[in-house]
Amino acid sequence: MTEFKGWTSRGYLPHFDTPGTVQAVTFRLADSLPTDVFERILADHPPTEQVEAVEMLLDGGRGECLLCQTVNARMVEDALLHFDGDRYRLLAWVIMPNHVHVVVEPNIPLADLLHSWKSFTAKAINTVMGRSGRVWQPDYFDRFVRDSRHLERVIQYVEFNPVTAGLCRAPAAWRWGSAYWRDG
At 7-64, the pLDDT tens digits run 565 555 566 777 789 999 999 999 987 777 778 877 888 877 877 777 777 777 778 9
pLDDT for res 10: 56
Q: Which of the two residues, 6 and 155, has the higher pLDDT score?
A: 155
Cβ atoms 32, 98 nearer than 8 A: yes
- 29: alpha, beta or left? (left if phi > 0; alpha if psi -120 to 50): beta
Task: Give CA 4 to chain center in angstroms.
Answer: 20
pLDDT for res 90: 97
pLDDT for res 1: 46
Residue 123 pLDDT exceeds 80: yes
Cβ atoms 73, 177 nearer than 8 A: no
> SS3 breakdown of the chain: % helix, strand, coil, rounded to 5?
45, 20, 35
Residues 90-124 as b or e (16 or more Cβ within 10 Å = b): bbbbbbbbbbbbbbbebebbbbbbbebbbeebbeb
How far CA 97 is from CA of 56, 65, 86, 132, 146, in Å, comes to 13, 5, 27, 19, 28
How many whole angstroms separate alpha carbon 148 and alpha carbon 24? 13
* Superfamily of 6-183 according to CATH: Transposase IS200-like (3.30.70.1290)
pLDDT for res 62: 78
pLDDT for res 55: 78
pLDDT for res 9: 58
Classified as helix, coil or strand, 39 is helix
Task: Tell me the pLDDT band of 131, cut-offs 50, 70 and 90.
Answer: very high
